[in-house]
């Protein structure tokens, strides 16, 4: 429960400094339903539920193009006031685009009890969240995430954000959707790189939470993720999403325990930035997990066998971009100091003991880090689609 302090001369509670204090709960009752299933997006159950409320549809233009028939079927089943098409890109997470959405919603007369429905990747879901939160001080939000990353990560947990000037996700809030509908049929049109980025987040969640699911999903992987069946994706999305929610439950506003979800992220932003964003976030997370796995090995937190299992999975889908944008330890060292300063002098690492069990380590000395970095470099340089000889 969130409580806000209200300073009022008429309140019943007198504070020690002579100011009257009243506390009241500001939390709205929120309950988000997550539905995962093949065909969920156009199922009668979902449509019946959405039809009762007037809607504005925000659709990723690629998704609209590639799924024109399903989108038309979906929209025909709603009480739609209008459809706004948006590019699935970082530029969409902007004040200018928010302005466009608010003006559209106002123009078609979206009422206070109406809803904004977003169909698209994480960028469209993020801007839709900010728009729903802002329009008429909050209308209902429904998310239909269409990328693997958005189904496992961006649409889960109520966080949203806009980019502002050069900073990513600088503006935003927590605003929980009423419904998140994940239909793995959308993955049929995703390219391998987008699948890899979502896969990285799935590895992250299951590596810190569920040993059985980790080996069930990752023990035998196809050469390319586009070969994974819609049924297999359904099960993976369901489990990864449930585990993410379980981790968030303890810390819904990102104050503490959610930190396990930072696995792979200690260095990810650094690799993204130093590649001038040629590396996608998920690719950088894969690299970050490989380094943290080697830190875990160096500190004897994870056994050689456990680290081998993790590295086989994380290295399997490293792309050529990951190999070309690798940075050696000497070139990285000056930036590490900058990272430490930005993080109040210390870095935290998520180290896996065994897939499914993780611990947070409070910084390590540069010697240990250098050794871990060197081992990680071997993994990255020799990675490919087949299990490499060094493992």
Ligand X SMILES: NC(=O)c1ccc[n+]([C@@H]2O[C@H](COP(=O)([O-])OP(=O)(O)OC[C@H]3O[C@@H](n4cnc5c(N)ncnc54)[C@H](O)[C@@H]3O)[C@@H](O)[C@H]2O)c1
In the window 15-34, what residues touch ligand X (CB under 6 A)?
none
Phi, psi (rounded to 5 degrees) for 52? -65, -15
Q: Is 89 in the site for ligand X (CB under 6 A)?
A: yes
C-alpha span between 121 and 155 (Å, rounded): 9
Choose the stretch contacting ligand X; rule: CB under 6 A; options: 108-116, 149-157, 202-210, 256-264: 149-157
| Residue selected from 150, 301, 352, 369 as contacting ligand X according to rule CB under 6 A | 150
- Give 75 or 377: the residue with its C-beta nearer to ligand X: 75
Number of residues that bind ligand X (CB under 6 A): 30
Task: List, in order, residues 6 or more apart from 113 with CB less than 8 Å away.
Answer: 53, 54, 139, 140
**DSSP β-bridge partners for residue 46:** none
- Give 239 or 283: the residue with its C-beta nearer to ligand X: 283
| Residue selected from 88, 114, 177, 184 as contacting ligand X according to rule CB under 6 A | 88
C-alpha span between 193 and 371 (Å, rounded): 30
CA angle 187, 189, 193 (to 5 degrees): 80
- Give 159 or 316: the residue with its C-beta nearer to ligand X: 159
| Residue selected from 36, 37, 57, 60 as contacting ligand X according to rule CB under 6 A | 60
Choose the stretch contacting ligand X; rule: CB under 6 A; options: 146-154, 256-264, 283-291, 311-319: 146-154
| Residue selected from 4, 103, 169, 324 as contacting ligand X according to rule CB under 6 A | 169
In the window 99-138, what residues touch ligand X (CB under 6 A)?
120-124, 126
| Residue selected from 42, 55, 62, 383 as contacting ligand X according to rule CB under 6 A | 62
Q: What string marks each residue from 247 to 276 as x (binds ligand X by CB under 6 A) or -?
A: ------------------------------
Choose the stretch contacting ligand X; rule: CB under 6 A; options: 86-94, 239-247, 263-271, 285-293: 86-94
Q: Is 205 in the site for ligand X (CB under 6 A)?
A: no
Closest CA to 155 of 138, 180, 178, 187: 180
Q: Name the site residues for ligand X (rule: CB under 6 A).
A: 60, 62-63, 66, 88-90, 93, 120-124, 126, 146-147, 149-150, 153-154, 157, 159-161, 169, 186, 189-190, 194, 197
């Amino acid at each position: 429960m969130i409580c806000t302090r209200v300073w009022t001369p008429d309140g019943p509670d007198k504070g020690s400094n002579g100011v009257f204090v009243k506390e009241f709960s500001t939390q709205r009752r929120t309950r988000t339903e997550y539905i995962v299933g093949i065909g969920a997006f156009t199922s009668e159950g979902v449509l019946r539920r959405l039809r009762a409320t007037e809607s504005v549809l925000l659709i990723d233009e690629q998704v609209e193009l590639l799924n024109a028939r399903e989108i038309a079927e979906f929209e025909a089943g709603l009480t739609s006031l209008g459809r706004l098409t948006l590019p699935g890109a970082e530029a969409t997470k902007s004040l200018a685009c928010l302005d466009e959405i608010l003006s559209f919603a106002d123009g078609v007369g979206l009422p206070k009890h109406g809803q904004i429905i977003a169909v698209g990747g994480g960028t469209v879901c993020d801007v839709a969240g900010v728009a729903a939160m802002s329009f008429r001080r909050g209308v209902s939000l429904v998310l239909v995430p269409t990328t693997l990353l958005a189904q496992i990560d961006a649409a889960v947990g109520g966080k949203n954000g806009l980019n502002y000037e050069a900073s990513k996700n600088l503006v935003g809030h927590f605003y929980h959707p009423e419904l998140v509908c994940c239909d793995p049929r959308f993955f049929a049109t995703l390219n391998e790189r987008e699948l890899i980025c979502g896969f990285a987040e799935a590895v992250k969640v299951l590596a810190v939470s569920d040993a059985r699911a980790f080996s069930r999903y990752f023990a035998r992987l196809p050469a390319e993720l586009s070969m994974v069946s819609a049924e297999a994706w359904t099960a993976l999305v369901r489990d990864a999403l449930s585990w993410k929610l379980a981790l968030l439950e303890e810390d819904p506003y990102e104050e503490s325990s959610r930190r396990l979800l930072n696995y792979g992220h200690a260095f990810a932003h650094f690799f993204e930035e130093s590649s001038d964003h040629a590396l996608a976030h998920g690719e950088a997370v894969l690299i970050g997990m490989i380094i943290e796995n080697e830190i875990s090995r160096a500190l004897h937190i994870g056994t050689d066998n456990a680290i081998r299992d993790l590295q086989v999975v994380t290295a399997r889908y490293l792309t050529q971009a990951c190999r070309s944008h690798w940075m050696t330890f000497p070139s990285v060292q000056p930036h590490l100091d900058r990272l430490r300063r930005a993080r109040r002098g210390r870095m935290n690492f998520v180290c896996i003991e065994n897939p499914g069990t993780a611990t947070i380590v409070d910084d390590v000395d540069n010697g240990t880090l250098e050794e871990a970095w060197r081992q990680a470099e071997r993994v990255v340089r020799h990675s490919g689609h087949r299990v490499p000889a060094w493992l």
